Amino acid sequence: MQAVASLRYGVIFKKAFSQPDIFTAFVKDILGIELDIDQVETEKSFPSPVGSIDSRFDLFAEDKTQRIIVDIQHRRYSDHYHCFLHYHCAALLEQGVTAKNYQPALEVYTIVILTSGDRHQRDMSQIDFDPKDRHGQGLGEIPHKILYLCPKYVNAETPEPWREWLLAIDDSLDEQVDETHYHKACVQKVLETIRKDTFTPQERARMKDEYSEEAWLQDKLGETLQQGLEQGLQQGLEQGRQEEKEEVALRLLAKGMEVALVAEVTGLPLEQVQSLSQ
């Protein structure tokens, strides 16, 4: 077993995946794209913010034909799908300043790593921008896409090229990995890069800052959920009406509570809560 720093921390993820050879190997396995780059930028932002919001990308690289963005996200937010859709669109629209028409010069791909999981419990979900006919067949006009990857939900159907990367990321979260389980050279390099005895004092300080911020947010979320639960249950018990139970369920789902737990708390059927979550 090897002691490592968790890849849930942005400073650690960026330390490992900002190495061009690791970044390009990861992108090739996930997207099937060969990148020609010699630099990966971290905390990338554009000189003129798009939509009056200064979007910052954890990892950002581009060659002559493709612009690749990789973001690491540990905390669950109710809007993380929308958040990274905005980031992706900002990277598209930023090209419009110099483009001759509305077609961006670079294809844009965004990979989001959700290390804490997601309420949908999928190993991968995708936003594909290509127009479809009424039979769902793509026209091959627009290549841009967003991939949301959840290492926690790797399963037998997860594509083989992805598996070792996602398993290694998930394995690192408890700060112990069995390095003998991994055979890809770049995955081994990631594990070597995040060994606990390789960090600078500055990197350790950044880790502590991230940990403290996360702990504070979790405390505040716990308080909010508890208040919502108490208020919602009291209303449900007093009113005893189906509409009130559904309102409570919607509030809890919006705060990120798992579907099964919402069903248990509200007494609504699991299928009904799943329908409300959609």
pLDDT recorded at residue 276: 82
pLDDT of residue 171: 96
The pLDDT assigned to 42 comes to 92
Calculate the alpha carbon distances from 19 to 9, 15, 30, 119, 145 in Å.
Answer: 16, 7, 16, 31, 23
- Predicted confidence at residue 73, as pLDDT, reads 76
| 108 close to 96: Cβ distance less than 8 angstroms | no
Which pLDDT value is given to residue 223?
A: 60
- Does this model's pTM top 0.85? My answer is no
Per-residue confidence (pLDDT) for residue 185, from 0 to 100: 96
Closest to 187 in 3D by CA, of 1, 16, 40: 16
pLDDT at position 32: 95
Residues with Cβ within 8 Å of residue 237, at least 6 apart in sequence: none
Cα–Cα distance measured from residue 267 to residue 246, given in angstroms and rounded to the nearest whole number: 10
Contacts of 23 (CB under 8 A, 6+ apart): 17, 35, 37, 40, 59, 61, 68, 70
Ordered mean pLDDT values, 10 residues apiece, the chain (278 residues): 90 93 96 93 85 84 90 76 91 84 90 91 95 96 94 95 96 93 95 88 77 59 60 54 76 77 78 82
